[in-house]
A and B are shown apart, each in its own frame.
Chain A
Amino acid sequence: MEQFSDSNHNHDKKPDRKEKKSLTSKFRGNLKYQKYLFVYTCLLLPIIFYLGIRILPTLFTFNVGFRDWNLLSTDIQPFVGFENYVTLFKDEVFIKSIFNTLIYIVLGVSGQLLFGIVVALLLHKINRFVGFFRVIYFIPYVTSIVAISWVFQWILMGNGIINDVLINLGLPPQPFLNSPDQAIYVIIGAMIWQSIGFQMILFLAGLENIPEMLYEAANIDGASSWQKFWHVTLPLLNPTIVFSAVIGTITFIQVSFTQVVNMSMDGSGGPLDSTISVVVYIYQLAFRQFDMGLASAATVILFLFILALTIFQMKVLTKKFDY
């Protein structure tokens, strides 16, 4: 802070300057302003970056969604109003993809939370090999999704190991990823398995934050284990649950792309579009059919969808618990 030492001397000159100079001298003259200016400028840089590569393109998407926009064409892209939206809502595949996305989120996120809490509670109880188990559960999360997807494909194929086990148990072999009825659940299962590690970490941190004395008090009152879980652990984990649900939903919408592309039998949400998610469909519209207009309109719908879902989650799940 040595460099600011002479600034106090300038302080008195300030009021006599012209209007234009007064602002600069104001900053020059005041240590407090200077500090703020520096801090705000530093904070501003990422914002400008963020504006440039996130916010502006996002806003631009709204514009593109109202146009007949061929990605390969350099001509003027005509304005078509809501035509893209109308086309999308008449498009069976798009409706299917929205419906699938809902299944992915509802089953996937609740599964993630459930298994995350269970694993965290179990790990919270043990004292030995804690690190070992944490590693075991966390490894899938840091493994490449593509690699995992392909291993699952091999495990689950008609002549794969799971069907061998089923047959040895006297059960009929299952088509799994080759069946429009089963494929989506198989993919959700793989996604849940992969994200347990992340949820486990969040919930372990949440559990650490619950004061031991609340359990002691509950013990004195003669509460059963279930009552302790239901009335102490769960309410105090609420902030973690809300956070996990929101983050889980958003990441689920994102990763449902990689998983679906790599696990579905035709690499694009098959069989019979049974596993297609909105993001996969947006990708196909934009980069397979070059229809940026439709793709952007679909993106806007997805945006509104996530927005509504997040608000819903915040409102419904967030509750204040005071002990």
Chain B
Amino acid sequence: MYRKWQFMLLGILLLLVLAACSGGEEDSSSDAKTDESEGADGEITLEYWQYSFDSKVTLMDELIAEFEEANPGIKVEQTNFPYDQYNEQVAAQVPAGRGPDVINLFYGWVPTYVDAGYLQPLPQDAFPHDEIESEFFPLVEATKMDGEYWTIPTAVRTLALFYNKDLFEEAGLDPESPPTTWEELEDYAVQLTKADDSGRLEQSGMAWEPAQQGHQWLRDGLTIQAGGQVLSEDRKDVVWADDPAGLEAFKYWLSFPTDLGTSEQGFYTDDVTAFVTEKAAMNIDGSFRIGTLQSDAPDLNYAVAPLPGKDAQSTNSSFWTNGITAGVEGEKLEAATKFLEFLTSDDVMERWLDATGELPAKEAVAMQDKYVNDEIYGPFIESLPFANAHFFVDETKERDLVIDAANKVLMEGMDPEEAFNELVESTQELYDAYWSDK
């Protein structure tokens, strides 16, 4: 008897292992769809994914509870991944046939996701184009492709100038009148810079980090301020170099670590660390940093001003935005649409600002007096009407190209004009590759 049991046990074990190995390949996609979508009593469960950002996750938990209460029969489950691994985690779930029904994506990634057939267009009856275009800030058009809106944000962020009031006073500058033009910014940066005898920076007047917000500042800030444009209207051509303003902006951008000597890449590892530790007097950063500054450096005496402009004012804007994935249909699609409508309601937008520091995506909500006059949020909101969100075909690569262009000048002594032309050329290649199969 004992022997029989032994064999049976071994057999079962073997079967289990075999089943575990083979199961992943064929069956999972089918049972994932049937298992998750509907519970026993017809209850619909929506899977919502966003990246781990404490204040957003907590707020979303509250919002989900309210949404479920108002919409009996719909349940929403939130899953979070760290920002660094977000794409990787999403990508890893696709072949397994599992994944979210509603997903929160960085707007710059949306073209890649649309390209892969991962998303479906927003249903037009719930989100008519003319309504989106009249109510939301025009920058949401960055995720309009093939004549469809693929995602819709709750909130947007803009870049502005952060400056340390104490260091301003120390350098004899008026902390109530921050720089408003390119010349003033140069001038202030020089006055706020300190170096030791060997020429090493001790205090940077202007934090400068292409890998952080630097590349955005260059594209959507400086270039447009100088009167240039990065992309053509149809988003097919990189017209950055067509107008001398493009090169002018690039040179101005690079003058901080070169001619002016006010900045250094990797100064105290990165711009945020340098600004928080009062080693950098000014930094270009987004409204999303306010929360970090409040928690990490509550004593930091700083203020915010709109980006210094030149011929025109302009700033970069970016946003995390919600889309519905391709496989969702029927009742589930209705539920997902309802959830998106809830997430883009005026009330949620206001609460989003209070909880996360991100600005309402609808003009009427954002431009209320209580926000425009806010000491910290005011400058960001003020910048919204002239904010631009660059249309990325490949956010990572375009960022890397800007970083490389800067490094070629800074580290290899390449002529800025040559580096800029190479940047434009290689960016154009990305766009050609993207549009070639459209």
Chain A residues packing against B (C-beta within 8 Å): 3-4, 28, 34, 38, 41, 44-45, 48-49, 51-53, 56, 70-75, 153-154, 157-159, 163, 167, 172-173, 175, 177-180, 265-268, 270-273, 284, 286-290
Among all A-B residue pairs, the 10 with the closest Cβ atoms: A52-B21, A72-B116, A287-B88, A73-B116, A71-B91, A266-B211, A72-B118, A288-B396, A271-B407, A3-B2
A72 and B10 form a contact (CB under 8 A): no
B87 and A48 form a contact (CB under 8 A): no
- What residues of chain A lie closer than 8 Å to B429, measured between beta carbons? none
A52 and B20 form a contact (CB under 8 A): yes
- What residues of chain B lie closer than 8 Å to A270, measured between beta carbons? 403-404, 407
Contact with A167, one of B14, B200, B211, B411 (Cβ below 8 angstroms): B200
- What residues of chain A lie closer than 8 Å to B327, measured between beta carbons? 74
Binds A, one of B59-67, B156-164, B242-250, B262-270: B262-270
Closest A residue to B95 by CB, please name it: A71
- 10 of the cross-chain contacts (CB-CB < 8 Å) are A45-B17, A48-B14, A49-B21, A71-B95, A74-B97, A75-B117, A157-B269, A163-B200, A173-B198, A271-B411
A72 and B17 form a contact (CB under 8 A): no
Contact with B397, one of A73, A163, A172, A289 (Cβ below 8 angstroms): A289
**Chain A CB within 8 A of B202 CB:** yes
Closest B residue to A75 by CB, please name it: B117
Given A158-B264, A159-B267, A272-B408, A288 and B403 touching (CB < 8 A)? no
Tell me the smallest distance from the CB of B392 to a CB of chain A, in Å. Answer: 12
Tell me the smallest distance from the CB of B9 to a CB of chain A, in Å. Answer: 10
Given A159-B202, A268-B400, A3 and B116 touching (CB < 8 A)? no
- What residues of chain A lie closer than 8 Å to B87, measured between beta carbons? 287-288, 290
Cα separation A265 to B406 with both chains bound (whole Å): 13
Tell me the smallest distance from the CB of A230 to a CB of chain B, in Å. Answer: 44
Closest B residue to A272 by CB, please name it: B407
B268 and A72 form a contact (CB under 8 A): no
B94 and A71 form a contact (CB under 8 A): yes
- What residues of chain A lie closer than 8 Å to B113, measured between beta carbons? 72
**Chain A CB within 8 A of B365 CB:** no
Cα separation A172 to B116 with both chains bound (whole Å): 51
Beyond A52-B17, A73-B117, A272-B407, 20 additional contacts (C-beta under 8 Å) are: A3-B3, A48-B14, A48-B17, A72-B91, A72-B112, A73-B94, A74-B327, A75-B117, A163-B200, A175-B411, A178-B411, A179-B411, A180-B407, A265-B265, A265-B266, A266-B400, A267-B211, A268-B400, A289-B396, A290-B116
Tell me the smallest distance from the CB of A184 to a CB of chain B, in Å. Answer: 13
A272 and B404 form a contact (CB under 8 A): yes
**Chain A CB within 8 A of B333 CB:** no
Closest B residue to A178 by CB, please name it: B266
Produce 1/0 per residue, B56-98, CB < 8 A to A. Answer: 0000000000000000000000000000000110110011010
B198 and A167 form a contact (CB under 8 A): yes
Cα separation A72 to B92 with both chains bound (whole Å): 8
Cα separation A177 to B411 with both chains bound (whole Å): 12
**Chain A CB within 8 A of B190 CB:** no
Tell me the smallest distance from the CB of A88 to a CB of chain B, in Å. Answer: 15
Cα separation A268 to B399 with both chains bound (whole Å): 12
- What residues of chain A lie closer than 8 Å to B97, measured between beta carbons? 74
Cα separation A270 to B116 with both chains bound (whole Å): 28
Cα separation A3 to B1 with both chains bound (whole Å): 9
Given A158-B200, A290-B91, A266 and B268 touching (CB < 8 A)? no
B10 and A74 form a contact (CB under 8 A): no
- What residues of chain A lie closer than 8 Å to B17, measured between beta carbons? 45, 48-49, 52
B266 and A157 form a contact (CB under 8 A): yes
Given A290-B91, A290-B116, A159 and B200 touching (CB < 8 A)? yes
B118 and A73 form a contact (CB under 8 A): yes
Closest B residue to A261 by CB, please name it: B84
Contact with B91, one of A34, A41, A158, A287 (Cβ below 8 angstroms): A287
Produce 1/0 per residue, B358-398, CB < 8 A to A. Answer: 00000000000000000000000000000000000010110
Cα separation A272 to B211 with both chains bound (whole Å): 12
Cα separation A156 to B276 with both chains bound (whole Å): 20
Of B18, B95, B97, B407, chain A has the most CB atoms within 10 Å of the CB of B407
- What residues of chain B lie closer than 8 Å to A75, measured between beta carbons? 117
Tell me the smallest distance from the CB of B404 to a CB of chain A, in Å. Answer: 6
**Chain A CB within 8 A of B412 CB:** yes
Closest A residue to B406 by CB, please name it: A271
**Chain A CB within 8 A of B13 CB:** yes
**Chain A CB within 8 A of B132 CB:** no
Cα separation A179 to B326 with both chains bound (whole Å): 45
B266 and A158 form a contact (CB under 8 A): yes
Cα separation A199 to B264 with both chains bound (whole Å): 39
Tell me the smallest distance from the CB of A208 to a CB of chain B, in Å. Answer: 40
Cα separation A173 to B269 with both chains bound (whole Å): 16
**Chain A CB within 8 A of B348 CB:** no
Given A72-B90, A167-B198, A272 and B10 touching (CB < 8 A)? no
- What residues of chain A lie closer than 8 Å to B6, measured between beta carbons? 38
A289 and B211 form a contact (CB under 8 A): no
Cα separation A41 to B15 with both chains bound (whole Å): 12
Tell me the smallest distance from the CB of B199 to a CB of chain A, in Å. Answer: 8
Of A3, A44, A74, chain B has the most CB atoms within 10 Å of the CB of A74
Closest B residue to A69 by CB, please name it: B95
- What residues of chain A lie closer than 8 Å to B408, measured between beta carbons? 272
- What residues of chain A lie closer than 8 Å to B94, measured between beta carbons? 71-74
Produce 1/0 per residue, B18-36, CB < 8 A to A. Answer: 1011000000000000000
Cα separation A272 to B20 with both chains bound (whole Å): 44
Cα separation A75 to B266 with both chains bound (whole Å): 42
**Chain A CB within 8 A of B201 CB:** yes
- What residues of chain B lie closer than 8 Å to A172, measured between beta carbons? 198
Cα separation A179 to B412 with both chains bound (whole Å): 9
Closest B residue to A70 by CB, please name it: B116
- What residues of chain B lie closer than 8 Å to A45, measured between beta carbons? 13-14, 17
- What residues of chain B lie closer than 8 Å to A71, measured between beta carbons? 91, 94-95, 116
Cα separation A53 to B268 with both chains bound (whole Å): 42
B18 and A158 form a contact (CB under 8 A): no
- What residues of chain A lie closer than 8 Å to B21, measured between beta carbons? 48-49, 51-53, 56
Cα separation A204 to B403 with both chains bound (whole Å): 46
Tell me the smallest distance from the CB of B1 to a CB of chain A, in Å. Answer: 9
Contact with A290, one of B3, B112, B201, B412 (Cβ below 8 angstroms): B112
Tell me the smallest distance from the CB of A266 to a CB of chain B, in Å. Answer: 5
